Chains A and B, each alone.
Chain A
Amino acid sequence: MHNGEQPTPHESVAFSEAALAEFNDIVSRYPERRAALLPTLWVAQREFGWISTTVQAYVAELLKLPIAWVEGVVSFYTMFYRRPMGTHHLQVCTNLSCQLRGSDEILDAVERKLGIRCGETTKDNKFSLDRVECLAACGGAPVVQAGDDYIENLDVTKTLELIDRLATGKES
């Protein structure tokens, strides 16, 4: 998605057998079905890439919950994506400890290099960029999260090199 376009939801979705088995295991951990909602959404995001309205309806049906409850949760938590994301999701922490060590300069440089602003995805769908709040890694500030990984003790040069490595597939 680029700059304000509404993302097109998935046409239809269904969990694989493995994902369904995982779902059943998740449900068994809680005395109430609703408590399985966040973990189920995590599985759904892994399976379908992002949580479209189609995915929300599917999860609601699986858990026998009103769609509004699912939508309410998806819209509350920042890690559930309501837009398709690029291959690499870069999240630059700009909270105080990182800012004191130069994260503003890093974010500037990343935006210039990728030609996008926070909340956007590059046209080739390789990178999505966001500002993120404190990642609890202030001892390694400034920190960028790339996908699941924390990359610590960065500066502008190291961050731009990281992007090059990601772009050429030398780092996943």
Chain B
Amino acid sequence: MNEKVLLHFQDTSADLTDIEQYLGEGGYEATRKALTEYEPDGLVNLVKESNLRGRGGAGFPTGLKWSFVPKDTGKPVYLLCNADESEPGTFKDREIIEHDPHQLLEGIIIAAYAIRCEIAYIYIRGEMALGYKVLVKAIADARNKGFLGKNVFGTQLSIDIHVHRGAGAYICGEETGLIESLEGKRAYPRIKPPFPAVYGVFGCPTIVNNVETLACVKHIIERGSDWFKSIGPEGGPGPKLYCVSGHVRKPGVYEAPMGTPLRDLIDRYAGGMLPGRTLKAVIPGGSSVPILRAEETAINMDFDSVAKAGSMLGSAGIIVMDNTTCMVRALRTITHFYHHESCGQCTPCREGTGWLEKLLIRIDSGVGTDEDLKVLDSVAQGMMGTTICVLADAAAMPVRSFLAKFADEFEAHVRGEDCRADAVHRRVA
């Protein structure tokens, strides 16, 4: 396995939350180099050349996003670090925040300089109380060292970071929902355009980047864009954090090159299936992406390869399901989540997610009908592409893919036959 970069904390005895020990490992050299040897535009170009694509889910090219910030508007520019990690099956950013927070702060300082921003906010989800404390301490330590505040690294630059704690709402992970929430409002996503790079938080140009994305920036400065491009497919390369959960022997976060085979991640990194069980299905990129049947899992985990297989890399939240899994119950659980988290702004999503869940409760409870299956698919279809943000699509995609790929199980349920899963149904919540 390759050298770990993002999860370096696993390979060192140093406590990287301690700034002295972090400095002992060469910490903040990348930031010093970026701020003293590069012009902002040079950094944007370097990140463009690296082909870094956003790690939050959408995979948008990071350097290109930065280049959308208009110059000379006379308004301040803001950088928001999206640490509202909430897509079910995703738990990678938390590793970086809790174990190697300065790596993230470096990425933020470098990115802030590149887009000419003086104030950055880390929006961390409310549940992550430990991560919040770790970040607040890390920022105070960095400020004491002169890495944040006025005249950072002896330059004329002012850059500061504040941590902003969310309060329990999945939709804050959507970048315009995050912006509204930071402004002290309900997290109702905004219609785009205007895009945040032009009109973001407080009406100013704003860049929103994911935690892992910003951590990658630090390493690109340190090791160069050619190094980054040499890892995995050139069109979307780099070290990648994969979150493997569900029915595997060793669930966890694993760092591996972009484009690592999915089966390697399951069988080698995560130790394979639980004893005596066989693989049934995998959700490769967080609960909102289309599911893959076991026989469709011989794919590489990078943006383009997973897309070609009809799903999405998303947040690389790999949820592994074995032969004991009832697909009706699993979909019901997913659908309950999106219903719970719909912000309620758009009718197709607010009503649609409710209908999806109600129909799945009926089918799961053994009182569904053939007609319910048709309505389920048509409601999901009607939700896609009809709302301000993609939460409606996130709810609809799993429904449509589960129905298409596990039709026999859904049909068995509405015919009142025994569940096809090799396990007994539990709790009806």
Say yes or no: is B1 at the interface (Cβ < 8 Å to chain A): no
| Shortest distance from the beta carbon of B4 to any chain A beta carbon, whole Å | 16
Partner of A139, one of B183, B251, B337: B251
Say yes or no: is B94 at the interface (Cβ < 8 Å to chain A): yes
| Shortest distance from the beta carbon of A111 to any chain B beta carbon, whole Å | 10
Q: Size range of the interface on B?
A: 35 or more
CA separation between A107 and B337, bound complex, in Å? 17
Say yes or no: is B287 at the interface (Cβ < 8 Å to chain A): yes
**Which B-chain residue is minimally distant from A100 (CB atoms)?**
B246
Q: Size range of the interface on A?
A: 35 or more
Say yes or no: is B129 at the interface (Cβ < 8 Å to chain A): yes
**Which B-chain residue is minimally distant from A137 (CB atoms)?**
B91
Contact partners of A131 in chain B: CB under 8 A? 429
Contact with B along A26-40 (1 / 0, CB 8 A): 000101101111110
Task: State whether A133 touches B340 (Cβ < 8 A).
Answer: yes
* Known contacts A38-B181, A39-B165; A136/B85 CB under 8 A: yes
Task: State whether B427 touches A107 (Cβ < 8 A).
Answer: yes
Say yes or no: is A101 at the interface (Cβ < 8 Å to chain B): yes
Binds B, one of A9-17, A72-80, A162-170: A72-80
Say yes or no: is B185 at the interface (Cβ < 8 Å to chain A): yes
Contact partners of A1 in chain B: CB under 8 A? none
Contact with B along A67-90 (1 / 0, CB 8 A): 001001100111110000000000
B284-326: which have CB < 8 Å to A?
287, 317, 319, 321, 325
Say yes or no: is B330 at the interface (Cβ < 8 Å to chain A): yes
- Pull 13 A–B residue pairs with CB atoms less than 8 Å apart, ordered by A: A76-B169, A78-B167, A96-B337, A97-B89, A99-B329, A100-B330, A101-B251, A132-B127, A134-B87, A134-B337, A136-B93, A138-B251, A141-B245
Interface on B for A, CB 8 Å cutoff?
A: 76, 85-91, 93-94, 125-130, 162, 164-170, 181-187, 202, 243-247, 251-253, 283, 287, 317, 319, 321, 325, 329-330, 333-334, 337, 340-341, 343, 426-427, 429
Interface on A for B, CB 8 Å cutoff?
A: 29, 31-32, 34-39, 41-42, 65, 69, 72-73, 76-80, 94-97, 99-101, 104-105, 107-108, 131-141, 145, 148-150
